[in-house]
Amino acid sequence: MNIQTSRRGFLTGLIVAVALPRLARAEGRAGYFNELPAGDSEWAPNAFIRVAPDNTVTVLIKHIEFGQGPYTGLTTLVAEEMDADWGQMRAAAAPADAEKYANLAFGMQGTGGSTAMANSFMQMRKAGAAARAMLVAAAAQKFGVSPDQITIEKGVLRAGDQSASFGELAEAAASQTAPEDPPVKDPADFRLIGTDLPKVDTKAKTDGQAQFSLDVYRDGMLTAVVAHPPKFGATVAGFDDSAATQVAGVRKVVQIPQGVAVLADNTFAALKGRAALKVDWDDSAAETRSSEQMVQEWTAAAQATGNSTKDWEIEASGDVDQALADGDVLEATYVFPYLAHTPMEPLDGVLELREGEAEVWMGSQMQTGDAAAVSQVLGIDNVRLHTMLAGGSFGRRAQQDSHFAAELAAVAKANGPGAVKLMWTREDDIKGGYYRPLTVHNMKGAIGADGKLTAWDHGIASQPIFIGTPFEPMLQGGPDFSAFEGASELRYATPNHRLRWSQMDSPVSTLWWRSVGHSHTGFAVECFIDELLEKAGQDPIEGRLALLGDDHPREKAVLQRAAEMAQMSGDYGYGVAVVKSFDTYVAQIAEVEDRGGVPHVRRVWCAVDCGIAVNPNVIRAQMEGGIGYGLSAVLYSEITLEEGGLIRQANWDGYPIMRIPQMPAVEVAIIPSAEPPTGVGEPGTPPIGPAVANAWRRMTGTALRRLPIIPVPVA
């Protein structure tokens, strides 16, 4: 069965690449295509827009869609500037092409750091404005009027009693010159931006039509799973495939750099084959420390009494040691475990190898790097990468080393010509590394009875994320900011301040996990300031507002807004946190109940300032999801290395995820703003943990300084 690439052929196969529901047109609901329709008769005013004779406008989206809404958001920007009707809009994944479709924040194609909207905002509006100008010029000619007599509303150009649709004008517009720098709208004239436009991908995600990488089936395709080393840094010493090759349907068992691959006619046979495989591992370079031992070593380093690979002084002002000596010191150590992302869809992808060319379907978050990795492994320049919808990522698909693309290519190389699907199981995912780094914070602070901070001394120990990977050059020799972002540039005023980072090393691979450094710095900073304020007898909100001073109006505004919303009158604990991450400001207040000695979060009030709110409904959804994701982790999640280096957790039974009964009600307020839009995928996550921990401490007197709060009992 082949992927259909033609829009017109979208009902001809069982596997349909074009996910646009047929109803969309009739209902006037915007939609999306899994793959850009073959554009023979379409007008392409620029790299981002296609106008078809049937009056649909397709926007090529350079960012992967895995739930944060770029398909809808970027399509909105184009529709706004074109004055299109939302129902005629379609989104489609742009091809992998670093020149045309680079993330302007990265200089290559990729998604991350909550940058999709921020970097695209002007680019997509300009693209829409250019198309609009060409349509206007074409209409002016056709109607025999001057361009300034043309109006456009909901995709129809009018002058007097003459009118034409985009589709009708597309051919004539194609011969107009594209303006170099078309003017964009004054925000006061926005009609679509700022409204809750229905998402383009919702329909296909409610009827089973949405196509993910796992859903790609090619003629003659084999399915592969790989036996990976059970310890980080271990390698294959040898293997016995005699039982595995006896499994019906198993075609090949072959060693690749990443482990031993089992290729079979179908998924079940591949899994059965792998279960029957015996591999001897060489553990000589493997991590054998337990995570408990790491916690001890990391703690000593954070306290500046232990060893590290390198100690970095990140910030220093005043005389911290003297101020601590003079003050009434509070000291706290916070321990954050390794975390797996466990996106709903584990890593997977399909590669079809043909003479001198490779075609890849995967949920690629770093298209430029992933395509290069495939090219390098196969020794083929001609790599066509299709960016598929992905079942979540939370950072997991944004790999510095493109390890999944490289593994997929290695399997394909071992297989030879033809198509192969590589699938990681949930166990592969949970044991497979690329974790949020295990991190320890040691904090010492002093505060006066007047609520003024006199000293703040902050030590962090963790593995880097950039250093030691192909992304290291981005640091230009500096420290790995992913380890301490959010702890640096402390917003609470103090004359005596120090921030240190101890770089720790381990073969355990690390990666950015939704909100990256803020996933732990937000917790440490916001819990510690809350404890200090409590110690000084200060109100958590008023005390923060005072320390934020005049330099942080946006933090203060979200804090005040959350405080206004919150109904803190129940018989429960209430806690607050405010975190700026990725240039977005979020304050949350949590209402927490003591249920038999463990916290249950009932309600969360959340205020967010992300600049211009392009789609308020998507922003609210990202706050809800960010809160759920963050809460799940602080309550339940940890990856544990046992003595010897084996990973304790295997699947979601041992790595519990928050389920619907534990999800709090969430109320979101968006601060009106005329600032350029910033991201919302990550910033909802950091405040929830400290808000809950602060509520708990104020209610029970117990400070929660080691996560998760409710660890899985060891059997």
Q: By the criterion CB under 6 A, which residues form the site for ligand FES? A: 67, 344, 392
Among 33, 298, 394, 523, binds another protein (CB under 8 A): 394
* Strand extents, DSSP E, 504-642: 573-581, 584-595, 598-609
B/e letters for 685-709, b = 16+ CB within 10 Å, e = fewer, are bbbbbbbbbbbbbbbeeebbbebbb
Place of tokens 């940890």: 638
Of 56 and 211, CB closest to ligand FES: 211
Say which DSSP state 398 is in: -
Task: Name which of 198 and 306 has its Cβ closer to another protein.
Answer: 198
| Sole window of 252-260, 306-314, 401-409, 617-625 interacting with another protein (rule: CB under 8 A) | 617-625
Residue 77: contacted member of ligand FES, another protein, none (CB under 5 to 8 Å, by partner type): none
Q: Cβ 177 to another protein, closest distance in Å?
A: 39
Q: C-beta of 658: minimal distance to ligand FES in Å? A: 12
Please report whether residue 318 would count as binding another protein according to CB under 8 A.
no
Among 359, 555, 624, 638, binds another protein (CB under 8 A): 624
By CB under 8 A, tell whether 223 contacts another protein. yes
- Binding site partner of 201, from another protein, ligand FES, none, Cβ cut-off 5-8 A by kind: another protein
The continuous run of DSSP H or E covering 635 comes out as helix 616-636
What tokens does 253 get?
């068992």
Ranges of H-type helices in 83-184: 98-101, 116-143, 166-174
Site for another protein in 52-111 (CB under 8 A): 66-69
Q: Where are the alpha helices (DSSP H) in 480-552?
A: 518-535, 540-548
Q: For another protein, which residue of 123, 145, 168, 217 counts as binding (CB under 8 A)?
A: 217
CA-CA distances (angstroms) from residue 617 to 565, 688, 703? Answer: 18, 20, 35
Considering only residues 336 to 375 of the shown chain, the ones binding another protein according to CB under 8 A are 342-346
In the complex, minimum distance from the CB of residue 33 to ligand FES, in angstroms, rounded to a whole number: 20
Positions in 255-274 near another protein (CB under 8 A): 266-269, 272
Minimum Å distance from CB 280 to another protein? Answer: 26
Q: By CB under 8 A, is residue 659 in contact with another protein?
A: yes
Stretch that binds another protein, among 199-207, 369-377, 400-408, 522-530 (CB under 8 A): 199-207
Residue with token string 């519990």: 656
Contact partner, 665, from another protein, ligand FES, none, Cβ < 5-8 Å per class: another protein
Binds another protein (CB under 8 A): choice among 139, 286, 536, 658: 658
Question: Which long-range contacts (C-beta less than 8 Å, at least 24 apart) are formed by 247-256?
Answer: 247/272, 247/273, 247/276, 249/273, 251/222, 252/222, 252/414, 252/415, 253/277, 254/414, 256/226, 256/407, 256/410, 256/411, 256/413, 256/414
Is the Cβ of residue 188 or residue 660 nearer to another protein in the bound state? 660
Indicate the residue among 68 and 120 with the shorter CB distance to ligand FES. Answer: 68
Q: How far is the CB of 92 from ligand FES (least distance, A)?
A: 21
432 in Cβ contact with 343 (< 8 Å): no
The one-letter amino acid at 465: I
Partner residues linked to 227 by β-bridges: 260
Check binding of 625 to another protein (CB under 8 A): yes
Euclidean distance between CA atoms 684 and 559, whole angstroms: 14
Q: How far apart are CA 403 and CA 388, in angstroms?
A: 17
> What does the DSSP assignment read for 59-109?
EEE-S--SSS-HHHHHHHHHHHHHT--GGGEEEEEPPS-HHHH-BTTTTBS
- What stretches of 175-277 show up as alpha helix (H) in DSSP? 267-276
Question: Which one of 621, 634, 639, 647 is in contact with another protein (CB under 8 A)?
Answer: 621
Residues that bind another protein (CB under 8 A): 1, 14-15, 66-69, 198-199, 201-212, 214-215, 217, 223, 248-249, 266-269, 272, 342-346, 389-394, 423, 425-426, 617-618, 621, 624-629, 631-632, 651-653, 657-661, 663, 665-666
